[in-house]
Structure 1
Amino acid sequence: MSGNPRGSADRDPWAVADLTPDDGYLSGLPRRDDTWHAGVVRGPARVALLCVLCLVALAVANLAWLVLYVAATALRAAPSGGAGDVSEQVAGGIPIMVLAWLVAVVPVALVGWPAGLALAWALRRRAREAEHVVAFAVVGGVLALLLLRPTLAGGWTDTVGGAAFALAEGAVGAGGGRWWAGVVLRRRMRRGELRDRPARVLPQA
């Protein structure tokens, strides 16, 4: 490596393919991957991967939420012996969460994918991964709130609770999907699987 390394925004995002294991990049996770440029996570195929991972992240987050909810309900019901109520809530909650996940597939495909393409293109010169993850989380939360706004009816408490849930779902799904897509593509780049795609090298800042 030269004594005056260029900033990450000016580095060739595929330069990692020329590194050797002695550089510490090809054996496991790097200590600090200065060659990674987050702007390479763009284009139809990679944003489609991001959308798929977004749905997986949503499924994992919702499953974790269901487990925590059931555990909290069971703790509250234990003194009164309400185990039957807990079983009924679990039986009723699982189909609802599966249905909610299936319903999310449509807006993610019809709205999330085009929005992801536009956002990834707008951020193509931003090298920091954290900036991309935060931007996708914010946009995902706002889009989820706008898409679910017609269903937010009822009292003030229900409306605020529903809006918070929509924001959280969108932020976790989009932000988690973007983070995961970066992990996948960074690993592929370290293995040299992307160096045959020179057309995808980012323009220099």
Structure 2
Amino acid sequence: MSVRGPKAIAALCLRCLAVLTLVNGAALTVFLLTAEADSPWARQAPQTIYYLGVALVVAAVLIGLVGFPAGVLTARLLEKSSREWVHVAVFAAVGALLSVTLCAWFHLLQVVAWYTLVAAAEGAVGAGVARWWTGRVMARQTPWTQEQGAALPWGKITP
């Protein structure tokens, strides 16, 4: 499925932010629910939720300023490839690389060594799932004949 052009990449960037919001919100919720009621982590829950909101605003700005141009370039470089899994994998790899690069730029990786893995996972999950989601949405909007739909690896998607 062709996910090219500024409009498609802008939709992909918004989906990336939605994925990051859901994943990080769910992780924070699970973490706070499993924390002891009298632990320091539980007492700092309002501050932690505030920091998550600030981090998502910063992520939105960075996705717009860095992710959007990188997405347009990546989609342009992949225009000859018709395999959906290649597009998803490349977008995930680019997202991981950009996330680690931006975190290193802001000196966030020097605090704890495994932050690099977390940053890479955030970028890969955000960009990869957003690219997969965008491809699925575009596939649903494309009118397919029964023969074309039967030839798709996932089968015909009907609205």
Give the shorter-chain TM-score range.
0.7 to 0.9
Query: How far, CA to CA, are the matches of 1:190 and 1:92 in structure 2?
Result: 48
Aligned-partner Cα distance in 2 for 1:42–1:103: 25
Q: Distance in 2 between matches of 1:180 and 1:49?
A: 10
| Larger Cα-atom Rg | 1
1:54 pairs with 2:16: yes
- Which of these residues, 180, 183, 203, is aligned with residue 133 of structure 2? 180
The amino acid across from 2:98 in the alignment is L
SS at match of 1:125: coil
Q: Which runs of 5+ in 1 are unaligned?
A: 1-37, 193-205
State the structure with bigger RCO (CA 8 A, min sep 6), 1 or 2. Answer: 1
- Out of 171, 174, 182, the position equivalent to 2:124 is 171
TM-score normalised according to structure 1 size: 0.65
1:49-198 matches, cutoff 5 A: 49-73=11-35, 77=36, 82-83=37-38, 85=40, 87-149=42-104, 150-154=107-111, 158=112, 160-190=113-143
Secondary structure at 1:127 match in 2: coil
CA shift for structure 1 position 191: 8.0
Q: What is aligned with 2:153? A: none
Task: Work out the CA distance in 1 between the residues paired with 2:45 and 2:144.
Answer: 43
Identity of aligned residues (%): 37
Query: For 1:161 and 1:89, how far apart are their aligned partners in 2?
Result: 23
Structure 2 counterpart SS, 1:168: helix
> How many residues are aligned here?
143
Give the stretch that moved more between structures: 182-191 or 43-52: 182-191
Task: Tell me by how many angstroms 1:163 deviates.
Answer: 0.9
Residue 166 of structure 1, CA deviation = 0.9
Normalising to structure 2: TM-score of the pair? 0.83
RMSD of the alignment, in Å?
1.8
Aligned partners of 1:185 and 1:144: how far apart in 2? Answer: 26
Secondary structure of the corresponding residue to residue 53 of structure 2: helix
Deviation at 1:66, TM superposition (A): 0.6
* Residue 26 of structure 1: aligned partner: none
Counterpart of 2:44 in 1: which secondary structure?
A: helix
**What are the ranges of 5 or more consecutive residues in structure 2 without an aligned counterpart?**
146-159
> In the TM superposition, what is the alpha-carbon distance from 1:189 to its structure 2 partner?
0.9
Distance 1:127 1:134 in 2: 13
